[in-house]
Amino acid sequence: MKKITALAAFAGIASAAAGCAESPGRTALASAPETRTLPAFASEDALRGYLVRLAKEQAARGEEFSGTGMNGGVAEAVTMEELPAPAEPEPSAAADVSSRADESVTNVQHAGVDEGGIVKVHGDYLVMLRRGRLFTVAIGDGALRPISAVDAFGPDVDPAGAWYDELLVSGDAVAVIGYSYARGGTEVGLFRIDGAGNLQHRSTYHLRGNDYYSSRNYASRLVDGKLVFYTPSYIGLNAEDPFGEFPAVRRWHRGAGQDEFRRTLSATRVYHPARPLHADDQIALHTVTVCDLEQAEMACEGTAVLGPPGRVFYVSPGAVYVWVSDWRGGKERTDRPSTVYRIPLDGGGPSALAVRGSPVDQFSFLESADGHLNVLVREGADGDGMWHGEVAGGATSLLRVSLASFGDGAAAAPAESYRVLPTPAGHTFQNRFVGGYLLYGTGSGWGPPEQRAAATLYAVPWVEGGPSALVLPHGVDRIEQMGTDAVVVGTDGQNLHFSAVRLGDQPRLGQRYVSAGASQGELRSHGFFYKPDGRDSGILGLPIRGGGVPGYAHLREGSASILFLRNQPSRFEELGELAAVADGSADDGCRVSCVDWYGNARPLFLRGRIFALLGYEIVEGRLDGGAIRESRRVSYAPGAVLAGR
Contacts with 98 (C-beta within 8 Å, 6 or more apart), sequence order: 120, 121, 122, 123, 169, 170, 171
Q: Which of 318, 359, 320 is nearest to 338 (CA)?
A: 359
Segment 217-239 mean pLDDT:
82
Q: Is the pLDDT of residue 645 over 70?
A: no
Given this model, what pLDDT does residue 184 score?
Answer: 76
- Looking at 15-19, 114-118, 366-370, 616-620, which range is the least confident one? 15-19
What is the residue-averaged pLDDT of the chain? Answer: 81
Given this model, what pLDDT does residue 556 score?
Answer: 66
Buried b vs exposed e over 22-50: b needs ≥16 C-beta within 10 Å? Answer: ebbbbbeebeeebeebbebbeebeebbeb
Given this model, what pLDDT does residue 232 score?
Answer: 79
Regarding predicted confidence, which is higher, 4 or 215?
Answer: 215
Given this model, what pLDDT does residue 237 score?
Answer: 65
CA dihedral 108, 111, 113, 116 (to 10 degrees): 20
Percent of the chain with pLDDT over 90: 48
Q: Is 447 helix (H, G, I), strand (E, B) or coil?
A: coil
Q: Is 65 helix (H, G, I), strand (E, B) or coil?
A: coil
Given this model, what pLDDT does residue 574 score?
Answer: 97
Band (551; pLDDT cuts 50, 70, 90): low
Q: Is the pLDDT of residue 10 over 60?
A: no
Q: Is the pLDDT of residue 63 over 70?
A: no
Regarding predicted confidence, which is higher, 68 or 383?
Answer: 383
Cβ atoms of 265 and 86 within 8 Å: the answer is no
Q: Is the pLDDT of residue 101 over 70?
A: no
Given this model, what pLDDT does residue 299 score?
Answer: 82
What are the C-alpha distances in Å from 111 to residues 50, 100, 493, 503, 538? 40, 11, 34, 20, 18
pTM, two decimals, is: 0.84
Q: Is the pLDDT of residue 92 over 80?
A: no
- Looking at 164-168, 238-242, 310-314, which range is the least confident one? 238-242
Given this model, what pLDDT does residue 238 score?
Answer: 60
Alpha helix positions (H), 15-144: 44-61, 93-98
Burial (CB count within 10 angstroms: exposed 0-12, middle 13-18, buried 19+), residue 318: middle
What backbone torsions phi and psi does residue 376 show, to the nearest 5 degrees?
-80, 130
Band (449; pLDDT cuts 50, 70, 90): confident
516-533 pLDDT per residue, tens: 999 999 999 999 999 999
Contacts with 230 (C-beta within 8 Å, 6 or more apart), sequence order: 212, 219, 286, 287, 288, 289, 313, 320, 322
Segment 270-299 mean pLDDT:
79
CA distance 233 to 265: 13
Strands 299-307 and 270-271: what pairing? Answer: parallel
Given this model, what pLDDT does residue 275 score?
Answer: 77
Given this model, what pLDDT does residue 167 score?
Answer: 95
Q: How does DSSP assign 138-198, residue by residue?
A: E-GGG--EEEEEEESS-TT---TTEEEEEEEEETTEEEEEEEETTTTEEEEEEEEE-TT--
Sign, CA torsion 436/442/447/453: negative
307-323 pLDDT per residue, tens: 887 788 899 999 999 99
Residue 517: left (phi > 0), alpha (psi -120 to 50), or beta? left
Q: How far is CA 635 from the centre of its chain?
A: 28
Q: Is the pLDDT of residue 254 over 90?
A: no
Q: Which of 305, 71, 120, 73 is nearest to 221 (CA)?
A: 120
Segment 405-424 mean pLDDT:
94
What are the C-alpha distances in Å from 321 to residues 125, 229, 328, 350, 356? 33, 12, 22, 9, 15
Segment 279-296 mean pLDDT:
78
Band (443; pLDDT cuts 50, 70, 90): confident
Regarding predicted confidence, which is higher, 199 or 59?
Answer: 199
Band (208; pLDDT cuts 50, 70, 90): confident
Given this model, what pLDDT does residue 84 score?
Answer: 30
Percent of the chain with pLDDT over 70: 80
Q: Is the pLDDT of residue 415 over 90?
A: yes
Q: Is the pLDDT of residue 268 over 60?
A: yes
What does the DSSP 8-state code read for residue 369? T
- The residues that bridge with 485 in the sheet, in sequence order, are 482
Dmax (CA) of the chain: 76
Contacts with 453 (C-beta within 8 Å, 6 or more apart), sequence order: 473, 492
366-407 pLDDT per residue, tens: 999 999 999 999 987 776 767 676 677 788 999 999 999 999
Q: Which of 261, 269, 243, 215 is nearest to 50 (CA)?
A: 243
Segment 4-25 mean pLDDT:
38
